[in-house]
Amino acid sequence: MSSMTGMTQEQTQRPVAAAALQQTLREALETVRADAVFGRPIERGETVVIPCAEVMVGMGLGGGGGRGRTEAAETERETSAGEGEGVGGGGGGRGRPVAAIVVSRDGVRVEPILDITKVALAGITTGAFMVFWLARLGFGRRGIRAKSPSLRQLTRGLKA
């Protein structure tokens, strides 16, 4: 126990951990704001282009603790105080352009930014999935026909 405040070490660590958590959350929330999603307007003549992005932020925190006494090995003949605590966290974020808002004399329009890599991967995955199932259905039917007896074979087997 601390002689000055009368607080245990655990009691003094909790406010420190809470303050660190609050600061981390505050900083994460500062990144999720309008100017992180909408870029600075770009003016070219009478046309203004506003870039737009998708911003994702993720975070995880965890902690644990333990108390109690554990018996040491018989040869040591001592007991040890079984204490333990742990706190951890991690996070990350990413952004990618998704569109541009174009403001001109003709009006306002949104021009999507197409990610060709994602479109190509989706097409390849869909094609492979279709080929797999069509091949499985085609080979599966042939396999059933070859293994199943015909009606004529069944009647011969019943007469014998």
Task: Specify the pLDDT at position 131.
Answer: 92
The structure's pTM equals 0.47
Count of structural domains within the chain: 1
Looking at the domain assignment, is residue 156 inside a domain? yes
Residues in CB range of 155: below 8 A, 6 or more apart = none
Say if residues 60 and 92 touch (Cβ distance below 8 Å).
no
What are the tens digits of pLDDT across the range 126-151? 999 999 988 888 766 555 555 666 77
Evaluated on CA atoms 150, 153, 158, 159, the torsion sign reads positive
The answer to whether residue 27 is domain-embedded is no
Considering the domain boundaries, does residue 75 fall inside one? no
* 144 belongs to a structural domain: yes
**Per-residue tokens: 8:** 């245990």
Phi, psi of 146 (to 5 degrees): -70, -30
- Residue 86 counted as domain residue: no
Residue 84 and residue 69 in contact, taking contact as beta carbons nearer than 8 Å: no
Residue 87, both tokens: 């706190």
Its domain, for residue 130, covers 115-160
Per residue of the chain (160 residues), give pLDDT as tens. Answer: 444 455 455 445 566 777 777 887 787 777 667 777 888 999 999 999 999 998 887 877 777 777 776 565 555 555 556 677 777 777 777 888 899 999 999 999 999 998 899 899 999 999 999 999 888 887 665 555 556 667 787 788 778 6
Given this model, what pLDDT does residue 34 score?
72
Predicted pLDDT of residue 13: 53
> For residue 127, is it within any domain?
yes
